[in-house]
Amino acid sequence: MKMKVTDLKTKLFANPARVLVLGFGVVILIGTSLLMLPSASQNQQSAGLVNALFTATSAVCVTGLVVVDTGTHWTIFGKTVIALLIQIGGIGFMSMATLFAVILGKKISLKERLLIQQAVGQNTLSGVVRFSLYLLALTFSLELMGAILLSFRFVPEYGFGTGVGYAFFHAVSAFCNAGFDLIGHGRSLTPYVTDPLVNFTIGALIILGGLGFTVILDIISHYKTRRFALHTRLVLLMTAVLLLTGAVLFIMMEWNNPETMGDLHVWEKLQAGFFQSLTTRTAGFNTVDTGSLTTASQLLTVILMFIGGSPASTAGGIKTVTFGVMLIRAISVIQGKENVEIFKRKIPFEVVNRAITILVIGLLMVVSVTMALSILEPGFSFMEVLFEVTSAFGTVGLSTGITSSLGNPGKVLLIITMFAGRVGTLTIGFALASRQSRYQNLVHYAEERVLVG
């Protein structure tokens, strides 16, 4: 029996992807157990298994979709649990485990270093522990600065204790791209649509959290020479293009909409349009009513949510680099180029193949879950269901307002979608896949062309 347990441990830890999937699952189950306690709810009654599981999954997967109002339903204990789950989910449970190991003076083994490498998205094993600690220090520093700035708005409005608590909660939620808020009654940040301090502080945290830790550290290390890695340059390019394009389109399509930006002044419309563009990058906050957006704006939101943020960040979606690689590949095919090139660098075909796989699996999942949820919830329109599913897959948290009205089967579907979106469909695939034979790749079949397009 002892041998069988040892064999099971070896089998599990031999696959880093499997450990990451199980790790996220364990954190979600612990969070669910805590949120089910009567002391976590204002009415001193258990929130129930499905509601607690949905909230814990949404927090750990830094999504922000909620079935009960975060600001009014949960007690201080419940809100603290949610904040901790957001923090662990945003920076990764392996990074948190590394911090505690270092504090306790525990030696980090090779297997644990392999897990950290997989979790933080590093290409090499060298320096992964140091990188993980830098990641944590950077995260806490940026969240602290954000909380201090937000305190200038929330302390005068809610009092010192509550104001400081609100400031820290929203700073953590923003940097981790979670979208949870404590404003209450499903309003998110709509009361602050014209407030530059809240908009730009939250916005800056969202962008920094969505860039990816590798990119931020690369910028800090090479800001004088500007000799950034290709990954960093591609992330910055795609982020800028998507943010500016989204902002321009949102402003154009919502300019005269009285339910969103129609009654705002010019500067306020520009501010609201830019915030709407950046929040679709898996942040989940909103300063205008998402359910009142025009159909064109909702479709644009779906596209941006599906793309999401950047790799090795707190954001979800298929990622900006995946989308960028696909665009570059398409342009290369049109121009008759064999290689995929940008910034005088060639992108390996294995990276292109990985991008194609992520895009196809992502599309299949969104389409499949949308179809299933449409069958389970026939009372909602196609756009409402597609919006909700894409928001879950991209771990965004924006909603047209139907989340709390879903039945338990629909909620379970979204729970699975949020989990897959945060952990990554490829990671889950690698976790479930069995090891290939080392001789399998030595077999090559005859080549034959097929017609496409």
pLDDT tens across 161-220, in order? 999 999 999 999 998 888 888 888 888 888 898 899 999 999 999 988 888 777 887 888
Q: What is the pLDDT of residue 104?
A: 47
pLDDT mean over 2-13: 50
* Domain assignment of residue 443, yes or no: no
- Classify each residue of 289-313 as buried b or exposed e, where b means 16 or more C-beta atoms within 10 Å of its C-beta: bbbebeeebbebbbebbbbbbbbbb
| More confident position, 103 or 214 | 214
Tokens read off for 265: 């002044």
* Domain assignment of residue 448, yes or no: no
* pLDDT at residue 117 is higher than 60: no
pLDDT mean over 52-59: 92
Domain residue limits at 10: 2-433
* Domain assignment of residue 367, yes or no: yes
pTM for the model stands at: 0.86
* pLDDT at residue 126 is higher than 60: no
Q: What is the pLDDT of residue 220?
A: 81
- Contact status, residue 279 vs residue 273, Cβ threshold 8 Å: no
Weakest-pLDDT range from 91-95, 107-111, 297-301, 303-307? 107-111
What does DSSP assign to residue 313?
A: S
- Contact status, residue 424 vs residue 24, Cβ threshold 8 Å: no
For residue 12, give every residue at least 6 positions away whose Cβ sits within 8 Å of its Cβ, in sequence order, or none. 18, 19, 22
* Domain assignment of residue 42, yes or no: yes
For residue 383, give every residue at least 6 positions away whose Cβ sits within 8 Å of its Cβ, in sequence order, or none. 295, 298, 299, 400
Q: What is the pLDDT of residue 8?
A: 47
* Domain assignment of residue 64, yes or no: yes
Cα–Cα nearest to 324, from 338, 336, 341: 341
* pLDDT at residue 1 is higher than 50: no
* Domain assignment of residue 387, yes or no: yes
Number of separate domains in the chain: 1
* Domain assignment of residue 440, yes or no: no
- Contact status, residue 240 vs residue 320, Cβ threshold 8 Å: no
CB atoms within 10 A of CB 354: 14
* Domain assignment of residue 453, yes or no: no
